[in-house]
Amino acid sequence: MNQFTPHAAFPTSLLEENDGPGVNPTENPTMGEIISRRFSRRGFLRGSLAVSAIAATVSPIALLTAEKAQAAGASAFSFPEVEAGVDDNHHVAEGYDADVLLRWGDALFADSPEFDPTRQTAAAQARQFGYNNDYVGFIPLAGSAEHGLLVVNHEYTNPHLMFPGIVQIVEGKISQAALTKEQVDIELAAHGGTIVEISREGGKWRVVRDGRFNRRITATTEMELTGPAAGHDRLKTNADPSGTKVIGTVNNCAGGVTPWGTYIMAEENFHGYFSGELPAGHPETANYKRLGVPESGYEWAAHYDRYDLAREPNEPNRFGWIVEVDVMDPNSVPKKRTALGRFKHEGAESIVAKDGRVVFYLGDDERFDYVYKFVTAGTFNPDDRAANMDLLDAGTLYVAKFAEDGTMAWLPLAHGEGPLIAANGFNSQADIVIEPRRAADLLEATKMDRPEDVQPNGTNGKVYVMLTNNTRREEVDGANPRVKNAFGHIIEIDEGGDFTATSAKWEVLLKCGDPSVAEVGASFSTATTANGWFGMPDNCAIDAAGRLWVSTDGNNPKATGRTDGLWAVDTEGEARATSKLFYRVPAGGELCGPVFTPDDQTAFVAVQHPGDGGTDWEAFGRPSYYEDLSTRWPDFRPDMPVRPAVVAITKQGGGKIGV
C-alpha cells in the first residue's frame, strides 16, 4: 500500500496517486519501455492503426491469447463471482462468510480497556489493536491450521477519521486542526504491529484475549539495529551514540513470515514522518533527496526532536529497514536487519531454495524504483529454530535488471564490485545498504512502476511482481498504447527452479485495467467477466494449492465504478490470465494482507482506511470525516467511527476457499 495521506493536506482523495515524489534521477530504462520494446520485437500490434481497429469489448493482448482462454472451466477457481460496485459495506462470494475478527481499538489483553473513541488515550491504544491494518500473517501453533498467531502491520493513521472535533468547515472550506501532543501519542501507539493468538471453534475464529504471546509493537518500542550498518556513524544520534538502538518502527506496510516462524515488518513511507531542514552542506543531503526526506506529512516533530532534521539529522537513516520479530518471546527486542537494505519496503516474502539458503523478495514502492532480492549466506535448519535466528544478518542483496528479450539479471549490491567503490561514496557495505537506491542507480537497474508485493510460488517455481501504477510514464507506441500506466501490471519471473539464480526469464502475466476500453491495453483473458478485471495490483498471496490471489489499491469508484477487493487470478493452463472477483471492501477502503491458513480453509484479509475520501463515491459526494462519514463499517453504530479491521473468510459448511 502506498497511499500516504499528509495530515496538513486533508482531505486528500484516494483519487490522488500520492506515492512519494518519484525521485529517481537516472536515465536507466523504465519497465514500460522494456515491455514496449519486447512486444514490438515480437510483432505485437504494429502501429496506431492496429489499436484503432480493435473491437471495443476486447483488449489487444487478450485477442492474441483468446484460443487458450475460452474454457472458463479450466480455471483453478470455483466460486460465484461477486458483482463489482461500491457501497458502504463489504461483500464476499455467495456461499462464504466474511466475519470481522479484529477492529481498530479492540482489546488484546485481559487488562485492555474497552474502546472509547471519544476518550482514547495513548496508554489505551498501546493495549488495543492498532490502526490501518495492512500485512496479515498466520503462524500455526503446534502445527494446527485452526490455532495460531495472527501478525498484523499497522501502517499509518488518518486523524480526520480517528479523532472527533479536529475537522473544521468555515465558509465552505474544510481544514484539519493541528494535533495535540496526546493525539500524536495516540498515533505513535496506533502504528507498528500486533501479535495475537486466535483459534477456530465451531467454525468461527475468535481472539484469545489472554494469549501468552499477545503483543503490541509501536512507534515507541525499543529495537536493535543489526547487520552491516549497525553502529555506523551515519546511524548515530544524540539519543543513541552507539548507532545500534532505535525507538520504534513506522509505516509498516506489507511484511512476511520467515520459514523459521518469525514476523517481518517492512518500513515503507518513512520519509513523511520527518520535518525541518538539514544543516547546510550536511553529508546526508543527497541521500535524503533520493528518498524524498522530509515530506512533513506528520506533526510528530512539533513534539519530539528526533523527527526534526535540524536537531537529529541522522534519524531518518534509522528507518526504512526490514524489522524481524521473534513472536515466541513477547519480551524479545525486535531487530532491524540492515543487510536487506534501506528503502521504501513493500514486504519481504521468502522461500527456501534447494540448497537450503533462504531468498527474500523485496519491492521498493515508488515510481521508477526497483525490485530486489536477498539471499542468505547461511542455510535454513528446519530442526533447530535457534540456529536460524540471525540468518538475515549476512547474505547478498540483489537488484533486478530486465532485458527486452525476456531475460533478466539479478545484480549484486556488493561493496567493491563494479562502481560500488569508495570513489563513488561507498566506503563499505554499510554505505551500500544505507543507500541501495543510489547503488542500484549506478548498476543501471530497471526503473519499475511502483513495485509492491513480490511473491515466490513454491508450487510452480515462479515469482510474481505486483506493479501498482505510474501515471508519470510518457512512453507511447502501438504495442503499449497507454499514455500513462494508470492501472499497473503483473510480471512473472521464472528462475528455472533455482530461487538463488542470478539470471532468469520474465513475462507479463497481466496488464491491468478495463478490457472493454481498447486504449487501456489490458490483457485479461476473454473468459474474464466485467466484474473480474481489476487495476492497481498491490498485495498478493499464494495459497497452499499454488494459486495466485491479488488485492488492489486505488480502484476509484468515480472512474471505475468499483472499490478495491480480492481477485483470484489463474496463472496456468488454458485459463491463464483469467481473473474473478471474490471479495470487495466498503467505500474508501483498500484490501490488504491476504493470507491463507495452511489448509486453505480460511482467508484473512485486512480492510484499511474504510470511509476515506468521500468525494470519490458519487452517492456520498463530499469529504468524509469523523462527524460525517461515508460509512460506519464495520459496526454501523452512530456512536462508533469507521474502523479498519481484519476479516476472516470461510466457506459455509466448511471446505477449502475457492474450490
Distance of alpha carbon 622 from its chain centroid, rounded?
Answer: 28
What's the burial of 397, exposed, middle or buried (CB within 10 Å: 0-12/13-18/19+)?
buried
pLDDT number for residue 35: 67
> Do the bridges between strand 503-511 and strand 548-552 make them parallel or antiparallel, or are there none, so unpaired?
unpaired
- 133 and 102 Cβ atoms separated by less than 8 Å: yes
> Is 135 within 8 Å of 363 (Cβ atoms)?
no
pLDDT single digits (tens) 572-615: 999 999 999 999 999 999 999 999 999 999 999 999 999 999 99
> What HEC string does 554-573 produce?
CCCHHHHCCCCEEEEECCCH
Query: Closest by alpha carbon to 559, among 628, 487, 609?
Result: 487
Instruction: Please choose, from the candidates 297, 327, 65, the residue with its C-alpha nearest in 3D space to the C-alpha of residue 217.
Output: 327
Q: Decide if 445 contacts 420 (C-beta within 8 A).
A: no
The whole-angstrom distance between residue 109's C-alpha and the CA centroid of its chain comes to: 28
Question: Rounded to an integer, what distance in angstroms lies between the CA atom of residue 373 and that of residue 109?
Answer: 37
| Four-point Cα dihedral 136, 142, 147, 151, nearest 10 | -20
d(CA 487, CA 554) in angstroms, rounded, equals 9
- Domain-by-domain residue ranges, the chain? 7-651
Q: Rounded distance, CA 489 to CA 465, Å?
A: 8
C-alpha cell at 493: 519471473
CB 250 within 8 A of CB 270: yes
Residue 393 backbone dihedrals phi, psi, to 5 degrees: -95, -5
Beta bridge pairs of residue 100: 647
Task: List pLDDT tens digits, range 70-107.
Answer: 444 599 999 999 999 999 999 999 999 999 999 999 99
Residue 251, by phi and psi: left (phi above 0), alpha (psi -120 to 50) or beta? left
Does residue 216 sit in helix, strand or coil?
strand
> What are the cell numbers at 174?
474544510
Closest CA to 341 of 229, 189, 178, 456: 229
Q: Give me the pLDDT at residue 26, please.
A: 84
Q: Which pLDDT belongs to residue 1? A: 57
Coil, strand or helix: which one is 347? strand
Which residue bears the cell 483498500? Answer: 590
Residue 192, pLDDT score: 98
Strands (E), 64-132: 91-92, 96-103
Question: Are residues 241 and 319 in contact, defined by beta-carbon separation less than 8 angstroms?
Answer: no
The pLDDT assigned to 11 comes to: 46
Q: Are 551 and 89 in contact (CB under 8 A)?
A: no
pLDDT along the chain (659 residues), means of 10: 52 44 78 65 34 32 38 82 98 98 98 97 98 98 97 98 95 91 98 98 96 98 98 98 98 97 98 96 97 94 97 98 98 98 97 98 95 98 98 98 92 98 98 98 94 97 94 51 77 96 96 91 95 97 98 91 97 97 98 97 98 95 97 98 98 97
Residue 642 near residue 164, CB atoms below 8 Å: no
Half-sphere exposure (Cβ direction) of 26: Cα atoms closer than 13 Å? 20
As a whole number of angstroms, the distance between CA 265 and CA 135 comes to 8
Quote the distance between the C-alpha of residue 324 and its chain's center. Answer: 16
Contact assessment for residue 383 and residue 368, using Cβ atoms and an 8 Å cutoff: no
Quick one: pLDDT at residue 556?
A: 86
User: Can you give the pTM of this predicted structure?
Assistant: 0.92
Query: What is the DSSP secondary-structure string of 468-494?
Result: --BTT----BTTB--SSB-S-EEEEEE
Sorted by sequence, the CB contacts under 8 Å of residue 291 that are 6+ apart come out as 23, 271, 316, 320, 343, 344, 437
Tell me the CA distances in angstroms from 441 to 2, 36, 137, 272, 450, one per residue in order.
22, 21, 33, 23, 16
Residues 6+ apart with CB under 8 A from 232: 243, 428, 430, 434
What is the H or E stretch that residue 595 is in? strand 590-596
Segment holding 68, helix H or strand E = helix 66-69
Residue 184: in which H helix or E strand, if any? helix 181-190
Return the C-alpha cell found at 330: 513477547
Q: Which residues pair with 367 in a beta bridge?
A: 449
